[in-house]
Structure 1
Amino acid sequence: MEWRGIAYITLWYLSITCGFLGICCPTIPLMFIYPRAFRYFMGTIFSVWEMYPTVLMRLLFNTRFIITGDRINPLDGALLIMNHRNRLDWNFLWAGMYYSAEPPAHKLKMILKSAIRHVPFAGWVMQLCGFLYIQRRWDHDQTSMKKQLKYFSDLNDTHQILLFPEGTDLSPNNIARSNKYADKNNLPNYKYVLHPKTTGFVFLADTMRTNKQLNAVYDLTVGYPDLIPQTEMDALKGVFPKNVHFHIKRYDESELPINGEDLKIWLNNVWQEKEKRLAYFTNVSSFSLDSPTVDNNYQPINNALYLAIFFWTLVQILVIYFIITSSLFQYWCLLCCIVFFGFSFTDDGFQMFEVNLYNRKINFTNKNK
């Protein structure tokens, strides 16, 4: 173990825990009164939180983020697709989104394995923020995602949804399985990416188009030129890269094929280009061959990041203080944990409770008109 890794993981998890107890849960009553305001508030809080791990990485490890390609427009209703180099890609993604979005107040939601929602505090916060969880049962998953996307559309909640089309991280075993699949289907073997699963991407693109939620697809490619932390244990050991590179390419919705089969071919072609891009990156440690329109080679820790570390440090101090000194707050924390423990193991989590509650209210209103 290394003290910086322990400090990072401790502060990261503590900020989530205290944010859940002190900010997110007290906001839940707003969901019953004004769901649009609740969704906006939760999206904003999570966007503000994403600056906290960004500044921690800058201060503790001096990790720099080099962004090439296109800016991400946070006003775009968008589908983001990204290669999954390791199990910590999402951790570096916060900083990648912060430095590439203009303005940086984006509303990112991820599609994650359902088991992650059981993780105390972290999984619970992501339920509150409307992340989409899948159980790898397609009939169930497409129904849940369709309902959730329709809910966002009804509330006019503009957001960016991140999908890892590969479904898992890059490892020797996963590469072997991916190339075995490629051999059976007359596809090329890859070394730097896995062959993407196309069903989920096509479904999301079609559904978001139908709901008029899709302005663009952003293709994100992440590369690590030095250290690659493969697992959470590596993070605890302080294995953090000095530089993390993101290359971003924006495809306007009008550039996408209409037909589902053509969308599958389109995604496979994007991944073939990603393989070439990462092969080049491996040799030169840069994506800059692509004539970047964004090149943040030097990124000072700006005032927004300093405010983020001040704000989340204050939140942690106040929540810990009230836990120690207030029996009423202790009961409040216990109640929140019991409720979300229950939501995590019943039905599909709090995010689907929110969607179903809204739909029941709409149906009741329509019946009584």
Structure 2
Amino acid sequence: MMAVPKLTGLFFWLLLFLSSFLGSIFLLFPFIPLVYFAPCVWRTIADCFIGYWLFLPSSLCDYILGVKFHITGDMISCSEPALIIMNHRTRLDWMFFWNALYKMDPWLLTTEKISLKQPLKCIPGAGWAMQCAAYLFLERNYKSDADTINDMITYYKDVGRHYQILLFPEGTDHSKRAAKRSDEFAMQRGLPIYHFVLHPRTKGFSYMIQVMRQKSYLKNVYDITVGYPDEIVSSELEILQNGRFPHAVHFDVKKYNENDLPKDNCGLANWINKIWREKENRLENFYKADVSHRQFLPCSEKEKWPVHTAGIGYYCAFLFWIAISVVWIYFIICFFFVRIYVFFACLFYVFCHWQYAGVQNLALQLFKQQQQQQQMNQKFE
């Protein structure tokens, strides 16, 4: 009986790996020249392709695996630049959050950007797609990360796209090791001990807010609280090895206008610490309740999305990615020139990672060079 859940987990990750690998080869790679010739067009095409791929894991979680998503609170706008902050309970929070975005507005899957750990961009297929998506890859080193944040937000602004950037202020998921380090940090500074969240890293959060303000690229901040009422699946390996998935995931959204946040770094640090104290209390009340009655009292009475996802969007996306992946695999098996094409596409991504630390940095450097050239031309006109 244990073989079925294990096969489910294997099927889940195998399908995501194959579709992301093949998609980065056959959908994204042919448009790479636009990084130089039409960077704004490249950004639009890459965002749409990757956003539509995100329908696949969302459809698997919702329809195939039967995970129930409960979404309450404020609507997130895809037409305004914003920062999204969330407690980081598991390594999979960002993946489950795609279902919340889909329920609110499927276009949000094309405008969300995620701050991730640097090593994730090295994953063949998925990592290449995340590079093309221009996600923020951070090293947990303030100096280098500050440069990355500044460069990427400038890039987002200059290509004329309005993105919502997902940031986990805690810096890592709520593992035993991370919780112990958070407790030690709290004791050293006379702060309260948290049981359901980690103490946020205020310096990085404040810097992100200030850079977005300097670039006039911040309209709202969305505070997301995520909770798992029954099964807490902490990592990708738990899905792969045991086929375990949560039965339900709860998200509550509270919107803050940028003007309501403090203007100085000290004030911002106090603000997010206050938000996290409130989040700890909300999660404590959430987990105190019986499993069958665990739910968030919404911070806002504006919205409560249906648990059941209506429409055929998930079905269409699931069938599309299954069918197109089968076609691509058939072409690779049957045609020698397609295998040559795949080889050179993979070689490009490896070279790009070695030479530029990723497609996102190649796009950024070429865009900077074009801007400098345009400024030079204007001076001589």
Query: 1:140 corresponds to which residue?
Result: 144
Task: Say which is worse superposed, 334-343 or 66-75, in terms of deviation.
Answer: 334-343
Counterpart Cα distance in 1 of 2:114 and 2:298:
29
Query: 2:321 corresponds to which residue?
Result: 312
Secondary structure of the equivalent of 2:71?
strand
Query: 2:52 corresponds to which residue?
Result: 48
* Aligned 1:186-197 pairs, distance under 5 A: 186-197=190-201
1:79 paired to 2:88 = no
Query: 1:341 corresponds to which residue?
Result: 350
* Aligned 1:276-291 pairs, distance under 5 A: 276-284=281-289, 285-288=294-297, 290=299
Q: For 1:9, which of 13, 17, 28 is the aligned residue?
A: 13
- Once the two structures are superposed, what CA deviation does each residue of 1:180-233 show, in whole Å capped at 9, x if it has no partner? 101111111100000000111111111111111111011111111111111111
The answer to whether the Cα contact below 8 Å between 2:72 and 2:304 also exists between their aligned partners in 1 is yes
Residue 348 of structure 1: how far off its partner (Å): 2.9
Counterpart Cα distance in 1 of 2:44 and 2:308:
28
Instruction: Report the aligned-residue RMSD.
Output: 1.6
The answer to whether the Cα contact below 8 Å between 1:71 and 1:100 also exists between their aligned partners in 2 is yes
Counterpart Cα distance in 1 of 2:107 and 2:376:
42
Q: For 1:61, which of 62, 65, 75 is the aligned residue?
A: 65
Secondary structure of the equivalent of 2:54?
helix
Q: For 1:28, which of 27, 32, 37 is the aligned residue?
A: 32
Query: 1:294 corresponds to which residue?
Result: 303
Counterpart Cα distance in 2 of 1:346 and 1:115:
16
Q: For 1:264, which of 266, 269, 274 is the aligned residue?
A: 269
Residue 173 of structure 1: how far off its partner (Å): 2.2
Query: 1:244 corresponds to which residue?
Result: 249
Percent identity between the aligned chains?
34
The answer to whether the Cα contact below 8 Å between 1:19 and 1:315 also exists between their aligned partners in 2 is no
Change (3 A) 1:352 1:157: same
Counterpart Cα distance in 1 of 2:110 and 2:350:
29
Residue 320 of structure 1: how far off its partner (Å): 0.8
The answer to whether the Cα contact below 8 Å between 1:228 and 1:239 also exists between their aligned partners in 2 is no
Secondary structure of the equivalent of 2:372?
helix
TM-score (normalised: structure 2): 0.93
The answer to whether the Cα contact below 8 Å between 1:78 and 1:217 also exists between their aligned partners in 2 is yes
Counterpart Cα distance in 1 of 2:106 and 2:279:
24
Secondary structure of the equivalent of 2:193?
coil
Change (3 A) 1:44 1:34: same
Counterpart Cα distance in 2 of 1:216 and 1:25:
34
Counterpart Cα distance in 2 of 1:152 and 1:174:
32
Q: How many residues align structurally?
A: 369
Query: 1:273 corresponds to which residue?
Result: 278
Change (3 A) 1:28 1:304: same
The answer to whether the Cα contact below 8 Å between 1:55 and 1:301 also exists between their aligned partners in 2 is no
Counterpart Cα distance in 2 of 1:134 and 1:103:
25
Counterpart Cα distance in 2 of 1:187 and 1:103:
40
Runs of 4+ in structure 1 off by over 4 angstroms are 102-106
Secondary structure of the equivalent of 1:295?
strand
1:112 paired to 2:111 = no
Task: Say which is worse superposed, 77-86 or 335-344, in terms of deviation.
Answer: 335-344
The answer to whether the Cα contact below 8 Å between 1:114 and 1:133 also exists between their aligned partners in 2 is yes
Change (3 A) 1:45 1:197: same
AA at the equivalent of 1:12: L
Change (3 A) 1:136 1:171: closer
1:203 paired to 2:207 = yes
Counterpart Cα distance in 1 of 2:342 and 2:103:
34
Residue 108 of structure 1: how far off its partner (Å): 0.9
